[in-house]
Amino acid sequence: MAGIINDRETIEFVRQQGSAAKYVTSVCTGAFVLGVAGLLKGRRATTHWAYVIFLPLVGATHEKARVVKDGNVITGGGVTAGIDFGLTVVAEIAGETIARKVQLGIEYDPAPPFDSGHPDRAPALKSELLTARYTSSGQHIVRASSKPPRFDGDC
């Protein structure tokens, strides 16, 4: 993620496309691409839970939800929130009945084996994960730190 938010050509492309788009969307830390492009200024948005503290840096207000719709901007949380996000977008474009059919077709009926899928329900795991860092090669390194995570992480 760190590379793309510093790529001026990509950010300018997103800015131009987003200014005229019917929908402007992102999932996970993709919200920061929209934010750096100026498309989240004054908007409510979400991203992966470990990165929500950074949303104000790009002009957004964090809303605690898996999917947030603010005008024509739709943002989704972490990886699995992308399914909820996709169904929300389908409902927006084709209607709720079609979205329900898609949900049934993909057999999306979440039943996780553990009750630790949200950071509020797993504070010890949250703390442990926030100390994790990922190198650009994807190797997982864990070290104790009070610093917030970098953008090049989970999604």
Longest CA pairwise span in the chain (Å)? 48
**Phi and psi angles of residue 154, each rounded to the nearest 5 degrees, phi first:** -80, -20
Catalytic residue among 28, 39, 73, 83: 28
The tally of domains found in the chain comes to 1
Whether residue 150 lies inside any domain: the answer is no
Q: What pLDDT band is residue 154 in, cutting at 50, 70 and 90?
A: low
Q: Strand (E) positions, the chain?
A: 24-27, 44-45, 61-62, 67-70, 73-76, 132-134, 140-142
Instruction: Give residue 105's domain range.
Output: 2-110+122-142
119-130: per-residue pLDDT in tens? 888 888 888 777
Question: Is 28 marked active-site?
Answer: yes
With a cut of 70, say whether residue 149 has pLDDT above it. Answer: no
Q: Is residue 18 part of a domain?
A: yes
Q: Is 56 inside a domain boundary? A: yes
Residue 96 is assigned to a structural domain of this protein? yes
Mean pLDDT of the chain: 84
- Whether residue 38 lies inside any domain: the answer is yes
Give per-residue pLDDT as tens, 47-104: 999 999 999 999 999 999 999 999 999 999 998 999 999 999 999 999 999 999 999 9
The pTM of this model reads 0.80
Tell me, yes or no, whether 116 lies in a domain.
no
Any idea what the CATH number is for the domain that residue 95 is in? 3.40.50.880
> Within a domain: residue 133?
yes
